[in-house]
Structure 1
Amino acid sequence: MAWYCTCIGETGATIYVTDIESRNRKTSELPGSVEDTAEQLTERGGVGIPVRLDHTDDDAVAETIKREHGVLDLLVANAFNGNAIPFKSDPFWKLSLTNWHNMIDNGLRNHLVAAWHAAPLLNRRKGRIVLTGLKTSDEGIMGNLFNDLAMNGISKLTHALNYELSTHGVTSVAISPGFTRTEAIMAVMGGN
């Protein structure tokens, strides 16, 4: 579970947690599910509500965002599928085009789709959109062009959302937590 989920849980907030992984429908052999994360949030004082969701299904995203509440205070978009591919540093012509699909079509686009559906529902006095990515630089990120494009895209998307939503009292920010403690990262890093 990411640190920002823990912090949000400690505020007593009601949090809809979405993930493609559920206890009854696993897409990988890695541990963890949307129910596990929701339970951890509840243990920390919030109300974690698990929702199995494929973020590449635009209609399902729209239905999930609108289903329970007429007003949202916060959207945290962190849906990527980068863990589904071997992540490595190589010249772009040696990388599989699957990297593009997972980083841009799934990752960057999923952030935009979630924001697009959430924007009309965001609290007009204190609504927030938080997008996750990595701090970018001219040198690129870890020598992976597709990841660099996705992270720069998230930075640009954050600025554009903030520009368009600021007149409505909504703020958009990006956070760069570095490697997020997911089950896939933990498996690669050996628990460190």
Structure 2
Amino acid sequence: MQPQGGQAGGLAGRIALVAGATRGAGRAMAVELGRAGATVYVTGRSTRARRSEVDRPETIEDTAELVTAAGGTGIAVPTDHLEREQVKALVERIDEEQGRLDVLVNDVWGGDHLIEFDTKVWDADLDKGLRMLRLSVETHAVTSHYALPLLIRRPGGLVIEVTDGTAEFNKTYRGNLFYDLAKNAPIRMAYGLAQELKEHGGTAVSVTPGFLRSEQMLEHFGVTEATWRDAIEKSPHFAIAESPVLIGRAVAALAADPDKARWNGSSLSSGELAKVYDVDDADGSRPDCFAYFKDVVFGGKEASAEEYR
């Protein structure tokens, strides 16, 4: 069995950048990369000195400390990934301090407060929609532009574009044009980067969590990680929800895989990777959200969420 969190020590000596590591999936991926031995640079706009427009209490300093506590080395660097000079300076610092970059996780988002579901594009707030696209697409492109020259110095580099939904799942319209574009773009970006990195021995994939029990989602339902099942009565499909630990462990295992190039250009989910790499969520379950939605929610199969855990 693959040890939880990826192969123990499998990333020792490796350098990772998790762009957008303040909370949720980004934080969990940073922590689990650290647990596997990596030095992890964690970036975001929410610090102990200043909150971003998302206005939540989680900070990149907290994330860096969690990475170090897990056994890695966490380094917090406040960065707005829309500001080119900040991203350029970040990569220059990594180069100066480490001389290499092995894993880039493009997880910048912060657009949930901008979504207007079930609103036609002509009725939507255009400023909010365009801001969403900047946060989800432009930030990823800027970061790749500056970081990939460092990553391709050595073969075996990995780029992970984090999104919401697999390529198959996202064939269904996501209920808001800007959100639909924002969550499909990283899938296409990963495919394009896969073509560009291939000749340099690099790999690019898109990865999505399932129904994620992020800090914000738990707060939305008025529950905690310990009491999350209380929200199932309000939202039955929450029964398939997963903690951020699952995608963290899945990504750490992927990064440590010497044969990860077989995934190049793929759209992957935490549930799929968990099966392949034999990793579980924090509670020992292995939820496969997208199989559940395909079979039960959209396919009409008579089955419970527990059968997909």
Equivalent pairs, count:
191
* Alpha-carbon spacing, 1:93–1:126, altered in 2? closer, same or farther (3 Å): same
* Alpha-carbon spacing, 1:32–1:113, altered in 2? closer, same or farther (3 Å): same
The normalised TM-score by structure 1 is 0.90
Residues 163-190 of structure 1, C-alpha deviations (whole Å, 9 max, x = no match): 0111001111110114555443343233
Aligned counterparts of 1:38 and 1:76: Cα–Cα separation in 2: 15
SS at match of 1:51: strand
1:110 aligns with 2:139: yes
SS at match of 2:204: strand
Aligned counterparts of 2:211 and 2:131: Cα–Cα separation in 1: 17
AA aligned opposite 2:64: A
AA aligned opposite 2:188: K
AA aligned opposite 1:92: V
Is contact 1:38–1:50 with CA below 8 Å preserved after alignment? yes
SS at match of 2:171: coil
Tell me which residue corresponds to 2:47.
22
AA aligned opposite 1:104: L
Aligned counterparts of 2:88 and 2:213: Cα–Cα separation in 1: 27
Residues 60-83 of structure 1, C-alpha deviations (whole Å, 9 max, x = no match): 011101213231001001111213
SS at match of 1:130: strand
AA aligned opposite 2:185: G
Residue segments in structure 1 that go unaligned for 5+ positions in a row: none
Is contact 1:80–1:102 with CA below 8 Å preserved after alignment? no
CA positional deviation for 1:23: 0.2
Residue segments in structure 2 that go unaligned for 5+ positions in a row: 1-22, 229-309
Tell me which residue corresponds to 2:114.
85
Is contact 1:179–1:185 with CA below 8 Å preserved after alignment? no
Q: Which of 159, 169, 172 is equivalent to 1:139?
A: 172
1:56 aligns with 2:82: yes
* Alpha-carbon spacing, 1:49–1:71, altered in 2? closer, same or farther (3 Å): same
Highest CA radius of gyration, 1 or 2?
2
Tell me which residue corresponds to 1:128.
158
Is contact 2:94–2:100 with CA below 8 Å preserved after alignment? no
The normalised TM-score by structure 2 is 0.57
Residues 66-120 of structure 1, C-alpha deviations (whole Å, 9 max, x = no match): 2132310010011112134255332222321133223211211111111111111
Is contact 2:34–2:68 with CA below 8 Å preserved after alignment? yes
AA aligned opposite 1:171: T
* Alpha-carbon spacing, 1:145–1:130, altered in 2? closer, same or farther (3 Å): same
AA aligned opposite 1:147: Y
AA aligned opposite 1:130: I
Aligned counterparts of 2:62 and 2:198: Cα–Cα separation in 1: 35
Is contact 1:18–1:50 with CA below 8 Å preserved after alignment? yes
Residues 127-174 of structure 1, C-alpha deviations (whole Å, 9 max, x = no match): 111110022433212x11111111221111111100011100111111
Percentage of identical aligned residues: 34
